[in-house]
Chains A and B, each alone.
Chain A
C-alpha cells in the first residue's frame, strides 16, 4: 500500500521584509502539536529559516531539511540530529549571541522562539568544509588513551603546545566570555509526593497521590506533559493520546495541592532533598522583566516516584553516525508531535518490535519505507503485516553493513542471513537497539544498576534513595498498560506512606502493543567506523583496544576511552559500551557491571547553582553604624571579615595612602583621633557562674576582677594554640561583656556555646552576641579626655583617678543617651571606647567630631590602627595564625597555673614549649631608610637563602610616624635571646634582601606611661 504524499511541495513563502526564508519542505501537511497559525523566524549558522510555536530547534531544522548540525568532538565527523530528547549527543549548538551566548545546548531541548540565533560548533572554518575533518585520516593515532599516550612529555609542552592544540581542535562550544546579564534564583519546595516525569507513569502517579489529598509536585523537563505519549499514536480509554492528556492535565491543574513544574529537570537525588532546575525563560529571547532565566529548586518530599521514562539505544554498525541516521523513536516523535518527516525515503533497522511502530507511522505520514531490517531470525506475523502495509520489504536476520553518503545519508547496504546484499537508497535510517530505563536518579545514592537478563536491560538498583519508588519505563516496564498501572500503584503507595488513604486507582484501557526484543548490539564486519559513544567519538575498536590493554573494569574503560563522559554522560552509549566490553572480554553483562551515575542528570548552569550570590550579592555586606558618616568623610573602605570598615580617610593634597595613614597615626599620638571599632565581636555573658566560665575559656584569671574594670584576655584552642584575644569588662558581679577580634566573632561565640552546652552544662551562665546592638567608637590620644568631657553627661567623672586605665562604666552621653564607657587602649595612648545603642552610632561620630574639632581630632581607619598597634607590639590577626602559642607571642606568663582552662594541657606539650620555637620580636632595618615587606623570611647573616636556613618571617610591618622609619613584628627562632642581632629579611617574591636588627616588640612607650595620664 502506498499512502498519498503528504509532504508539502517546496514553495517560497516570504516571512519578513528582509527577504524570503525558505519554506519548510519536510513539514507534513497536517498533524502534530505545533501551532501552524504562527510562524517563527530563526537563523542557523547565519541562514534564515522558519518554524512554528511548539517546535524545538531540532524539529524546526529537520522541517527545513537541515541534516548536518555539528562536527564530532575528536574526528570532526559530520553529525546530525540523533534523538528528540535530553539524551542528544550530537546536535549541540551555540544559542544566542553576545553576553547571552550559550554553548553546548541540545537542539532537541531548545524550544524555538522568534529571532533565535543558533550556530554549529566545533568546526573551522565552516560546518560543511571543516578542515579539522582531516583528523579522520589520522584516526588510528587518536585511538583510546590517545591523550594519555601522546601528551605525556615533556611537561613544558603542555602549556605551550598541547593545550592550545587540543583546545583548538577538540573544544566544544565557546563560552560567552562576558558576565551573564540574566538573573537566576533559588527556591525550596516541600511536598508529600514528588513525581519526576510526566509521561504515562508519572501522570498516573501524580493523579493517584493528588486524588488521595497528598501535596504533589510533578516535575517535567519538557514544556508539555505526556512524555512518550506525545510522540506516539496511541489510544487511551478510547481517546487519542493528546485528548486523554488534556483531561488528565485539567484534573491535576484543578487540584490546589498539586503543583506542576514544566521545563523543570530533576537533576539529582541528594540526602534529604532533590535538586531541580526550572528553565523559566530559556524559551524566550530574553527573560521578561523581574523573571529569572532559570530557577533552582530544592524539593523536600516525603516520598518520590521516579518516572523518568527510558532512552532508546542506537545500534552499533559501521558508519552509524552519518547525518540522517536517527533513533527510531525520535523519528516517530518528529512525525507525530512536530509534524515533521525526518526524510523522504526511510529504512528502519532494529532488534525489537517497537521499531515497527516507526514503519507504520512513517507510512501513515506518507514517507516511503524502503525496508524493515530486523536483526532477528524470526519476527511475529504482526510485524510482517505492518511491513507489508507500509510497502516495505522485510529483511530478517539482516543488518546494515555499509552506509553511503558523507554529510547526509544517501543509502545503505544490508546483508541478510544468507549473505545476500541489498543496496537500498534512503535519506533516513531509523534505528533501534531497544530502550534503556532512565534510572540515573535511582543510582544517585550509590546503588548500582542491575542487569536484567530477561529484559536485556539495566534496571534500577535494589537499594534506592530513601523514599523513592521507580515506576514505568524507568523501571523497565515498556508496555503502556504496564506504565499506567505501575505509576498509579506507585503514586497511591507514596500517598499512603505520607499519611493519606488513596482509593485503588483505575487505569485507562489502551490499544494493543508489543515491545519484544532480542539482545543484538553490534554488527560485525561492516564498513567504516562503528560508534558506541557519538559525543566522545568512541568506536568499537577503541573499546577493543582498551580491553586488549587491560582496561576491563567499566570505570577504567570510561576513563581510558572517555566513553560515557562529557555533557551527555553516556545516555545513549552506556548500555552498548558495557555490552560490547562484556562480549570482548568474555564476561556476562551482569558481571561487567556499569559505571556509577552521579548528579547532575543533565548539565546544570553554574549561574543556576550560584543564584543571586554573585557580584555584589556574592555574600551579604555588613556596614558599621558610622558607614555613611565615614563615606562623607571620604573614607576608603576595606573588607574585614564580613564587614566593610574605613581603611583610611584621605584629605585633599595627600599624595598616597601612606601619607594619609602617617598623618592619622601621628594625630592620635599627638592630639586625638576616633575610629569605629563596632566590628569587634561583643558577647554579653551573664549568670552566677559567669566568672567561673571565663576562668575556663581564658588562660588568665577573672574571679578577682572588680566590677567596673576590664582585663585583656587570651583564649586557646584545646590543642594549645591561641584562638583569639580581646578585653572583657565586668559590668556587674554576674555580668561581663567580652570583646573578640572582628574575624573570630562568630567562631568564638560558637566555641563559648560549645563549652557551656557540652563541656560544662552545670554552670549557671548564659551568653549572647550583642555585636550589632552596640555601636562602639574608640577615641584615642592625649586629648581624648578633653573631647569626651564634652560628650559624657555630668556629673560623671572621667578623670584619671576616678576612671583610670582599664576602667569601665555604664553612663549617659549627649544628654541622656545610655552608653558604656571603657578606658581601653590599642594604640598605647590614653584612650577610651564608647558604646551606644547602634542607632545612635552615626550621631555619636558626628558629635565627637564636633567636640574634637578644637583639639584637631581626625577620624582614622584600620591602617592607622594597625600602625599604632605595631608600634606598641600588640598582636593581631597576622600573629594569631592558629600556629602560635601564648608563649610564642610573649603572653606565656598570663597562663594561670592554678586552674584548668581550654588548651592548658596541650599547651604543655614538648613541641609547644620547645625553646627553639619562633617567638614574637620587633625588627627594624639597619638602613633606616629601607622599607620592610611583610612576609619576608628571616635568615641568619651569611647563610644561603634556602628553606633549610629559614628562621621565621615578618608578620606585620608599618612605617612608624613616631620613629620615622619602617618597623616590623616577626616570629623568629629563639628571638628573645637574640636582641641586637642582625638578621636578613629575605623576600624572594619581590626580590628584596636587607639587614634588620632584632629588638623588643614594643617600639613606643615600653613602660606604658602614656596610658596612665
Chain B
C-alpha cells in the first residue's frame, strides 16, 4: 500500500506506523468513565470508508489522517493530523 504524505509525496506503507481510528475524540478530563472506556477501547470496523491515523516515522514525523476504503484499500485522502485537529478546535 502506498500513502501520499502531504509533505514527502507517495511512499510505501512500511515508512508509516498505523495507530487506528481517527474519528474518536479524546474526552475532557472530567468526562464519565463510560466516555473514556469508549475512547480507549470501542472501535467501529466499517466495511467502506474510514478515517485513520498514520505516522510517517521514516519520513517527516507527521501524524496523518488517512481516509481509506477498508474493502479495497483505496486511499481517498491524506491530510496532516495537526491541521485537522486545529480546524476541529476552531469548529468546536
Contacts and interface: CB of A to CB of B under 8 A. Distances in A.
B19 interface: yes
A272 B14 CA distance: 12
A753 B28 CA distance: 20
Interface string A881-924: 00000000000000000001000111011000000000000000
Given A271-B1, A757-B81, A762-B89, A905 B29 contact: yes
A466 B82 contact: no
A753 B2 contact: no
A270 B73 CA distance: 10
B40 interface: yes
Contacts of B39: 718
Interface of A: 270-273, 298, 300, 445, 466, 718-719, 746, 750, 753-754, 756-759, 761-762, 900, 904-906, 908-909
A750 B29 contact: no
B85 A757 contact: yes
6 contacts: A718-B39, A719-B41, A753-B55, A753-B62, A754-B53, A762-B86
B12 A761 contact: no
A761 B2 contact: no
Interface string B13-41: 10001010000001111010100110111
Contact of A746 (B28, B37, B57, B82): B57
Nearest to B80: A757
B31 A905 contact: yes
Contact of B2 (A300, A758, A904): A300
Interface residues of B, number: 33
Given A466-B74, A757-B85, A762-B89, A909 B57 contact: no
Contacts of A908: 33
A273 B1 CA distance: 7
Given A271-B2, A273-B12, A466-B74, 12 more contacts: A271-B73, A300-B2, A445-B72, A750-B55, A753-B61, A754-B19, A757-B82, A757-B85, A758-B53, A758-B63, A758-B82, A905-B27
Contact of A905 (B17, B33, B63, B81): B33
Nearest to A696: B29
A900 B29 CA distance: 6
B26 A298 contact: no
Given A750-B57, A906-B36, A909-B33, A761 B27 contact: no
Choose among A272, A900, A905, A906 the residue with the greatest number of B CB atoms under 10 Å from its CB. Answer: A905
A759 B85 contact: yes
Contacts of B36: 905-906
B2 A272 contact: yes
Contacts of A271: 1-2, 13, 73
Nearest to A909: B33
Nearest to B74: A466
A756 B37 CA distance: 22
Given A445-B72, A750-B55, A758-B85, A906 B40 contact: yes
A725 to B, nearest CB: 21
Contacts of B81: 757-758
B1 A272 contact: yes
B23 to A, nearest CB: 12
The 10 A-B residue pairs with the shortest CB-CB distance, nearest first, are A900-B29, A272-B2, A271-B1, A757-B82, A761-B85, A757-B63, A271-B73, A905-B36, A758-B81, A761-B82
Contacts of B62: 753, 757
Choose among B13, B28, B40, B74 the residue with the greatest number of A CB atoms under 10 Å from its CB. Answer: B40
Interface in B46-66: 53, 55, 57, 61-63
Contacts of A761: 82, 85-86, 89
A974 B70 CA distance: 46
Contacts of B61: 753
A750 B53 CA distance: 12
A754 B31 contact: no
A298 B15 CA distance: 15
A866 to B, nearest CB: 30
Nearest to A762: B89
Nearest to A270: B1
Contacts of A757: 62-63, 80-82, 85
Contacts of B72: 445, 466
A746 B17 CA distance: 11
B40 A754 contact: no
Nearest to A903: B40
A904 B55 contact: no
A754 B62 CA distance: 9
Contacts of A750: 17, 55, 57
B87 to A, nearest CB: 9
A755 to B, nearest CB: 10
Interface string B68-85: 000011100000111001
Nearest to A899: B29
Nearest to B57: A750
B68 to A, nearest CB: 10
Contacts of A756: 82
Contacts of B73: 271
A719 B80 CA distance: 25
Nearest to A272: B2
A754 B86 contact: no
A599 to B, nearest CB: 14
B25 to A, nearest CB: 10
B88 to A, nearest CB: 9
A908 B26 CA distance: 16
